[in-house]
Structure formats: C-alpha cells, structure tokens
Homo-oligomer: A and B are copies of this chain.
Amino acid sequence: MTEQLVFRAIADPTRRSIMTMLSSGERSLNEISAQYEMTRPAVTKHLKILQEGGLIRVRAKGRERLHALQPEALKTVSDWVSFFSQFWDEKLADLKQVVEADDD
C-alpha cells in the first residue's frame, strides 16, 4: 500500500523543507538544489521519494523539470492524525467531522 510511502517521504527534514519551498510555486531541480548544501544528485533522490509518496508531480519544460507540490497526498497523514486527535482535542475532531461530512 501507498500509505507507507507518504510517511516515509515526510520522515526526512530535507524533504519536508522541499515541500515548504514548493508551496510557493513549482521549481526546477537546479532552483531547488541551489538552496541546499548537498549535491544535485542527492536532491534528485529526495525528489524521487517525494514523488513516490505522491507529494509532488513533475513536468518537463524544455530542458528543465519543474516540480510542483501535490498536497492532497497529505490527506493520508491528516486522516491518520485525526484518529488520535480525538484523544487530545475532541472539540476539533468533532468540528472536523462536521466539515468533512458537509464537504462534497
């Protein structure tokens, strides 16, 4: 199943940082790797794992590859956390249910 791939993807701080970066718009590999101390191939590997988790999508544009956030994949995590949130914030959990039931 794919759930594990999402949890795996967000387990690394560099990957979470990349997600934050992409939240303001799509970026090429060069633009992304310029922000980190590690080499470009290392960033490429992180991007691949994010892609496997469904958290980003990639499109080619000329010789560039543009990476965009696909945050819907985080619903998996959100749902998982929500189950436990009933134990620390029942009010929020209840409201959330209402919202989600009202949501289609």
Question: Hey, which bits of chain A sit against chain B, CB under 8 A?
Answer: 4, 7-8, 10-11, 13, 16, 19-20, 23, 69, 71-72, 74-75, 77-78, 80-81, 83-85, 87-89, 91-92, 95-96, 99-100, 103
Q: Which of A23, A74, A96 has the most CB of B within 10 A?
A: A74
CA distance A54 to B51 in the complex (A): 29
Q: Can you offer 9 A-B residue contacts whose CB atoms are under 8 A?
A: A4-B13, A8-B11, A10-B11, A19-B84, A71-B85, A71-B88, A75-B88, A77-B77, A92-B96
* Residues B87 and A23 in contact, CB atoms below 8 Å apart: yes
The answer, among B11, B78, B85, B91, for a CB contact under 8 Å with A85, is: B78
